[in-house]
Amino acid sequence: MWLIKHLALLLYAGQLLLGGWQQAHEPGPRAERARSAGLAVPDELVRASGWAMIAGALALHVPRLRRPAALALAAQLVPVTWVGHRFWEGEGPQQAQHKIHFFKNVSMIGAALYIAATAD
Give domain limits for the chain. 2-118
User: Using CA of residue 107, residue 74, residue 39, residue 27, what is the dihedral sign?
Assistant: negative
User: Using CA of residue 35, residue 41, residue 44, residue 48, what is the dihedral sign?
Assistant: negative
pTM for this one?
A: 0.92
54, 20 Cβ separation under 8 angstroms:
yes
48, 1 Cβ separation under 8 angstroms:
no
What is residue 82's predicted lDDT score, i.e. its pLDDT? 94
DSSP, collapsed to helix, strand or coil, labels residue 27 as helix
Largest CA-CA distance found in the chain, in angstroms, rounded? 46
Q: Which residues of 9-36 are buried (b: 16+ CB within 10 A; e: fewer)?
A: beebbeebbebbeebbeebeebbebbee
Q: How many residues does the chain have?
A: 120
pLDDT tens digits for range 52-97: 999 999 999 999 999 999 999 999 999 999 999 999 998 999 899 9
Please report, as a single letter, which amino acid is at residue 113: L
What is residue 79's predicted lDDT score, i.e. its pLDDT? 94
pLDDT tens digits for range 17-63: 999 999 999 999 999 999 998 999 999 999 999 999 999 999 999 99
